[in-house]
Amino acid sequence: MNFFTKSLGHHLLGLYFSREGLIKAMKATEVGYNSKVEGDVVHTRLDAAVSWFRKNSLWPMPMGLACCAIELMAAGASRFDISRFGAEVMRFSPRQSDLMIVAGTVTYKMALAVRRIYEQMPEPKWVIAMGACASSGGMYRSYATLQGVDRILPVDVYISGCPPRPEALLEALMKLQNKISNEPHITDKKPARDRGLVLS
Protein backbone atom coordinates (compact mmCIF):
# COMPACT_ATOMS: atom_id res chain seq x y z
CA MET A 1 0.00 0.00 0.00
CA ASN A 2 1.34 3.41 -0.91
CA PHE A 3 0.64 6.30 1.34
CA PHE A 4 0.56 9.86 0.14
CA THR A 5 2.28 11.74 2.91
CA LYS A 6 2.50 15.28 1.62
CA SER A 7 0.67 16.94 4.50
CA LEU A 8 2.00 14.44 7.01
CA GLY A 9 5.52 15.13 5.80
CA HIS A 10 5.21 18.88 6.32
CA HIS A 11 3.83 18.31 9.74
CA LEU A 12 6.79 16.20 10.66
CA LEU A 13 9.22 18.64 9.10
CA GLY A 14 7.80 21.48 11.11
CA LEU A 15 7.56 19.64 14.36
CA TYR A 16 10.41 17.29 14.75
CA PHE A 17 13.06 17.16 12.10
CA SER A 18 15.06 18.96 9.52
CA ARG A 19 14.21 17.64 6.10
CA GLU A 20 17.52 15.74 5.96
CA GLY A 21 16.90 14.20 9.35
CA LEU A 22 13.48 13.08 8.29
CA ILE A 23 14.73 11.62 5.05
CA LYS A 24 17.48 9.77 6.83
CA ALA A 25 15.10 8.38 9.39
CA MET A 26 12.51 7.41 6.82
CA LYS A 27 15.16 5.75 4.68
CA ALA A 28 16.07 3.56 7.60
CA THR A 29 12.47 2.37 7.69
CA GLU A 30 12.12 1.18 4.11
CA VAL A 31 11.34 4.43 2.37
CA GLY A 32 12.31 5.23 -1.17
CA TYR A 33 12.81 8.96 -1.55
CA ASN A 34 14.38 10.95 -4.30
CA SER A 35 14.09 14.70 -3.75
CA LYS A 36 14.79 15.52 -7.40
CA VAL A 37 11.91 13.45 -8.62
CA GLU A 38 9.45 13.68 -5.79
CA GLY A 39 9.88 17.07 -4.13
CA ASP A 40 7.95 17.21 -0.86
CA VAL A 41 6.24 13.90 -1.45
CA VAL A 42 7.33 10.85 0.48
CA HIS A 43 6.20 7.39 -0.49
CA THR A 44 6.12 4.71 2.12
CA ARG A 45 3.97 1.92 3.40
CA LEU A 46 1.50 3.01 6.03
CA ASP A 47 2.70 0.16 8.23
CA ALA A 48 6.27 1.39 8.03
CA ALA A 49 5.30 4.95 8.85
CA VAL A 50 3.15 3.91 11.79
CA SER A 51 5.86 1.60 13.11
CA TRP A 52 8.33 4.42 12.88
CA PHE A 53 6.09 6.73 14.91
CA ARG A 54 5.43 4.08 17.49
CA LYS A 55 8.88 2.77 18.06
CA ASN A 56 10.34 6.20 18.63
CA SER A 57 7.86 7.28 21.25
CA LEU A 58 7.36 4.36 23.59
CA TRP A 59 5.84 5.49 26.86
CA PRO A 60 6.93 3.06 29.56
CA MET A 61 4.87 1.92 32.49
CA PRO A 62 7.65 1.50 35.10
CA MET A 63 6.59 -1.65 36.92
CA GLY A 64 9.38 -1.33 39.47
CA LEU A 65 8.94 -4.15 41.95
CA ALA A 66 12.39 -4.68 43.45
CA CYS A 67 16.08 -3.85 43.14
CA CYS A 68 16.03 -3.86 39.29
CA ALA A 69 13.91 -0.72 39.45
CA ILE A 70 17.00 1.14 40.65
CA GLU A 71 18.71 0.33 37.36
CA LEU A 72 15.57 1.33 35.52
CA MET A 73 15.78 4.70 37.27
CA ALA A 74 19.44 4.94 36.32
CA ALA A 75 18.50 4.27 32.70
CA GLY A 76 16.11 7.21 32.91
CA ALA A 77 18.62 9.56 34.50
CA SER A 78 21.23 11.75 32.85
CA ARG A 79 24.11 9.29 32.55
CA PHE A 80 22.27 6.72 30.45
CA ASP A 81 19.40 8.93 29.31
CA ILE A 82 16.69 6.69 27.90
CA SER A 83 15.24 9.75 26.12
CA ARG A 84 17.86 9.23 23.42
CA PHE A 85 15.57 6.41 22.33
CA GLY A 86 12.32 8.30 22.78
CA ALA A 87 11.21 6.31 25.81
CA GLU A 88 11.69 8.80 28.59
CA VAL A 89 8.05 9.54 29.27
CA MET A 90 7.49 7.20 32.22
CA ARG A 91 3.78 7.14 32.90
CA PHE A 92 2.37 6.02 36.21
CA SER A 93 -1.03 5.62 34.67
CA PRO A 94 -1.45 2.48 32.57
CA ARG A 95 -3.95 4.34 30.40
CA GLN A 96 -1.15 6.49 29.05
CA SER A 97 1.56 3.93 28.51
CA ASP A 98 2.30 1.30 25.89
CA LEU A 99 5.42 -0.44 27.20
CA MET A 100 5.43 -2.22 30.51
CA ILE A 101 8.92 -2.64 31.95
CA VAL A 102 8.64 -5.28 34.66
CA ALA A 103 11.69 -4.49 36.77
CA GLY A 104 11.90 -6.75 39.77
CA THR A 105 10.57 -9.73 41.63
CA VAL A 106 6.94 -10.55 40.91
CA THR A 107 5.40 -12.13 43.99
CA TYR A 108 2.15 -14.05 43.75
CA LYS A 109 0.56 -11.34 45.83
CA MET A 110 1.57 -8.73 43.26
CA ALA A 111 1.00 -10.90 40.20
CA LEU A 112 -2.64 -10.17 39.60
CA ALA A 113 -2.11 -6.46 40.17
CA VAL A 114 0.58 -6.54 37.48
CA ARG A 115 -1.81 -8.37 35.21
CA ARG A 116 -4.59 -5.88 35.85
CA ILE A 117 -2.33 -2.91 35.14
CA TYR A 118 -1.25 -4.60 31.91
CA GLU A 119 -4.86 -5.08 30.92
CA GLN A 120 -5.59 -1.41 31.59
CA MET A 121 -2.94 -0.36 29.09
CA PRO A 122 -4.39 0.43 25.67
CA GLU A 123 -3.31 -1.53 22.60
CA PRO A 124 -0.79 -1.66 21.06
CA LYS A 125 1.39 -2.61 24.01
CA TRP A 126 4.62 -4.41 24.71
CA VAL A 127 6.36 -5.93 27.71
CA ILE A 128 10.02 -6.05 28.70
CA ALA A 129 10.92 -8.51 31.47
CA MET A 130 13.89 -6.86 33.10
CA GLY A 131 16.26 -9.03 35.10
CA ALA A 132 16.42 -12.60 36.33
CA CYS A 133 13.44 -12.25 38.65
CA ALA A 134 10.98 -10.92 36.11
CA SER A 135 12.23 -13.40 33.50
CA SER A 136 12.31 -16.57 35.59
CA GLY A 137 11.84 -15.90 39.29
CA GLY A 138 15.59 -15.47 39.60
CA MET A 139 17.14 -16.65 42.80
CA TYR A 140 13.75 -16.76 44.49
CA ARG A 141 12.90 -20.43 44.31
CA SER A 142 10.27 -19.66 46.87
CA TYR A 143 6.64 -20.37 47.66
CA ALA A 144 5.92 -16.64 47.36
CA THR A 145 7.46 -15.81 43.98
CA LEU A 146 5.98 -16.12 40.52
CA GLN A 147 8.53 -17.99 38.40
CA GLY A 148 8.67 -15.50 35.57
CA VAL A 149 6.21 -12.81 34.57
CA ASP A 150 5.65 -14.61 31.25
CA ARG A 151 3.26 -16.84 33.14
CA ILE A 152 0.77 -14.02 33.24
CA LEU A 153 1.83 -11.60 30.48
CA PRO A 154 3.10 -11.93 26.90
CA VAL A 155 6.74 -10.84 27.16
CA ASP A 156 8.46 -9.35 24.10
CA VAL A 157 12.02 -9.01 25.35
CA TYR A 158 13.79 -10.68 28.28
CA ILE A 159 16.89 -9.16 29.86
CA SER A 160 19.34 -11.33 31.77
CA GLY A 161 21.26 -10.06 34.76
CA CYS A 162 20.77 -9.49 38.44
CA PRO A 163 20.38 -6.62 38.03
CA PRO A 164 20.99 -5.88 34.35
CA ARG A 165 22.97 -2.72 33.76
CA PRO A 166 21.15 0.24 32.21
CA GLU A 167 22.94 -0.46 28.92
CA ALA A 168 21.22 -3.84 28.85
CA LEU A 169 17.86 -2.17 29.24
CA LEU A 170 18.70 0.21 26.40
CA GLU A 171 19.75 -2.76 24.28
CA ALA A 172 16.42 -4.41 25.03
CA LEU A 173 14.67 -1.22 24.05
CA MET A 174 16.50 -1.20 20.72
CA LYS A 175 15.61 -4.85 20.16
CA LEU A 176 12.01 -4.02 20.87
CA GLN A 177 12.17 -1.09 18.44
CA ASN A 178 13.42 -3.47 15.76
CA LYS A 179 10.61 -5.82 16.56
CA ILE A 180 8.02 -3.04 16.39
CA SER A 181 9.31 -1.82 13.04
CA ASN A 182 8.68 -5.28 11.61
CA GLU A 183 5.20 -5.67 13.04
CA PRO A 184 2.33 -5.32 10.55
CA HIS A 185 0.25 -2.80 12.47
CA ILE A 186 -2.39 -1.89 9.96
CA THR A 187 -3.09 -5.28 8.53
CA ASP A 188 -2.83 -7.19 11.80
CA LYS A 189 -5.36 -6.01 14.33
CA LYS A 190 -4.89 -8.89 16.71
CA PRO A 191 -4.26 -7.89 20.33
CA ALA A 192 -0.77 -8.41 21.71
CA ARG A 193 -1.57 -11.59 23.55
CA ASP A 194 -2.65 -13.40 20.39
CA ARG A 195 0.49 -12.63 18.42
CA GLY A 196 1.96 -16.03 19.11
CA LEU A 197 3.70 -14.97 22.29
CA VAL A 198 4.29 -16.85 25.48
CA LEU A 199 1.24 -17.23 27.65
CA SER A 200 0.20 -19.87 30.10
Say whether residue 133 binds ligand SF4 (CB under 6 A): yes
Q: Which region among 32-40, 65-73, 146-154, 171-179 touches ligand SF4 (by CB under 6 A)? A: 65-73
Q: How far is the CB of 164 from ligand SF4 (least distance, A)?
A: 8
**CB contact at 8 A, 181 and 55:** yes
Q: Among ligand SF4, another protein, none, what does residue 138 contact (CB within 5–8 Å per kind)?
A: ligand SF4
Bridge partner residues of 43 (DSSP): 4, 32
Binding residues among 126-185 for another protein as defined by CB under 8 A? 137, 141-145, 147
**Residue 28 identity (one-letter amino acid):** A
Say whether residue 198 binds another protein (CB under 8 A): no
Binding residues among 85-114 for ligand SF4 as defined by CB under 6 A? 104-105
Q: Which region among 27-35, 80-88, 92-100, 130-138 touches ligand SF4 (by CB under 6 A)? A: 130-138
Q: Which region among 32-40, 42-50, 60-68, 92-100 touches ligand SF4 (by CB under 6 A)? A: 60-68
Q: Among another protein, ligand SF4, none, what does residue 114 contact (CB within 5–8 Å per kind)?
A: none
Nearer to ligand SF4, 9 or 148 (CB): 148
HEC sequence for the chain? CCEECHHHHHHHHHHCCCHHHHHHHHHHCCCECCHHHHCCCCEECHHHHHHHHHHCCCCEEEEECCCHHHHHHHHHCCCCCHHHHCCCCCCCCHHHCCEEEEECCCEHHHHHHHHHHHHHCCCCCEEEEEHHHHHHCCCCCCCCECCCHHHCCCCCEEECCCCCCHHHHHHHHHHHHHHHHCCCCCCCCCCHHHCCCCCC
Residues that bind ligand SF4 in the complex, under the rule CB under 6 A: 66-68, 104-105, 131-133, 138, 162-163
Residues that bind another protein in the complex, under the rule CB under 8 A: 108-109, 111-112, 137, 141-145, 147
